[in-house]
């Protein structure tokens, strides 16, 4: 925690930023970003670009955070790590929702693509999830911008407004994650009764691995958002602001694991290439 005499710094960092932890984070996120960049071009999986953006933003945020430990007065460095660490996980979550939308559209048999089956319009699952998520991201950006301006003039009213707007954005993203979980569970349960040829069943098993990996990654981002929401409404002397380890665990480790999971179970290796790879009307019972 910063000394009380350093009031000008208190608005930037409620505690002294660590140096070696973000350095380690920069290394591991650098490796993860490199792996995703390689896989992106190897498989030409352009639909997964948001994951590379999110991982890159985490890398930039950790590099900036390491620099902050040696340059506490640098406002640009503070803002860089603040924005990138807030928005990096949003891109990771968006990548998860996009992949799940592809799973639904490419694997679900045509007769099962109904609102009754999935509790969500199958053709628009991705659009609905991403739409809610983007609205949340907009409010997060607006809230962080308010907080940035409040830091410049030490405006407590504007800071409170910024936290409320930021909280609204995080709540939107939590709602999106909850909706995704409901649709995922419904999809998983419904798909157990789909039958087909042995080839289609093999494809089904591969898709199961991807679907579970997407859910794991999305859940980790959900926990990260819960942490950010709690931090948003905590006071300057509350535990989440006085100590740094929750930031490194929830906004560092959890996001890193989510990125690694979807590098190991890379979507382009498990998704069918065509929408009809699963479909065969004659074999669906």
Residue 281 located in a structural domain: no
Range of the domain at 195: 19-275
Confidence of residue 272 (pLDDT cuts 50, 70, 90): low
Residue 6 located in a structural domain: no
Residue 264 located in a structural domain: yes
Confidence of residue 195 (pLDDT cuts 50, 70, 90): low
- Report pLDDT digits (tens) over 105-152: 777 777 767 777 777 777 778 888 889 999 999 999 998 888 877 777
pLDDT value at 196 more than 80: no
The better pLDDT of the pair 69, 25 is held by 25
The better pLDDT of the pair 63, 276 is held by 63
Residue 282 located in a structural domain: no
Residue 8 located in a structural domain: no
The confidence score (pLDDT) of residue 197 equals: 53
Mean pLDDT of 21-30: 94
Q: Which string of DSSP letters, residue by residue, matches 93-114?
A: HHHHHHHHHHHHHHHS-GGG-S
Specify which of 1-15, 54-68, 185-199 reaches the highest per-range mean pLDDT.
Answer: 54-68
Residue 231 located in a structural domain: yes
Residue 266 located in a structural domain: yes
Total domain count for the chain?
1
Residue 285 located in a structural domain: no
């Amino acid at each position: 925690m910063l000394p009380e005499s350093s009031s000008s710094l208190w608005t930037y960092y409620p505690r002294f930023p660590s140096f070696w932890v973000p350095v380690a984070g920069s290394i591991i996120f650098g490796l993860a970003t490199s792996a995703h960049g390689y896989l992106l071009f190897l498989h030409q999986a352009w639909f997964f670009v948001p994951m590379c953006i999110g991982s890159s933003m985490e890398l930039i945020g950790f590099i900036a955070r390491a620099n902050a430990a040696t340059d506490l007065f640098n406002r640009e460095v503070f803002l860089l790590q603040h924005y990138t660490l807030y928005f990096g996980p949003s891109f990771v979550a968006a990548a998860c929702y996009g992949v799940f939308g592809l799973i639904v559209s490419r694997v679900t048999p045509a007769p099962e693509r109904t609102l009754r089956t999935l509790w969500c319009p199958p053709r628009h699952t991705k659009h609905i999830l991403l739409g809610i998520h983007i609205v949340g991201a907009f409010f997060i950006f607006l809230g962080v911008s308010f907080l940035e301006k409040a830091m410049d003039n030490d405006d407590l009213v504007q800071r409170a407004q910024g936290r409320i707007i930021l909280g609204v954005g995080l709540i939107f993203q939590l709602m999106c994650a909850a909706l995704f979980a409901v649709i995922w569970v419904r999809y998983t349960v419904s798909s157990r009764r789909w039958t087909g040829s042995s080839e289609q069943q093999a494809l089904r098993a591969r898709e199961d691995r991807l679907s579970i990996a997407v859910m794991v990654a999305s859940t980790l981002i959900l926990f990260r958002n819960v942490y950010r929401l709690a931090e948003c409404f905590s006071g300057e002397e509350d535990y989440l602001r006085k100590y740094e380890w929750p930031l490194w665990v929830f906004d560092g480790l959890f996001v890193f694991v989510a990125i690694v999971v979807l590098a190991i179970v890379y979507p382009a290796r498990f998704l069918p290439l065509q929408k009809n790879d699963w479909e065969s009307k004659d074999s669906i019972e």
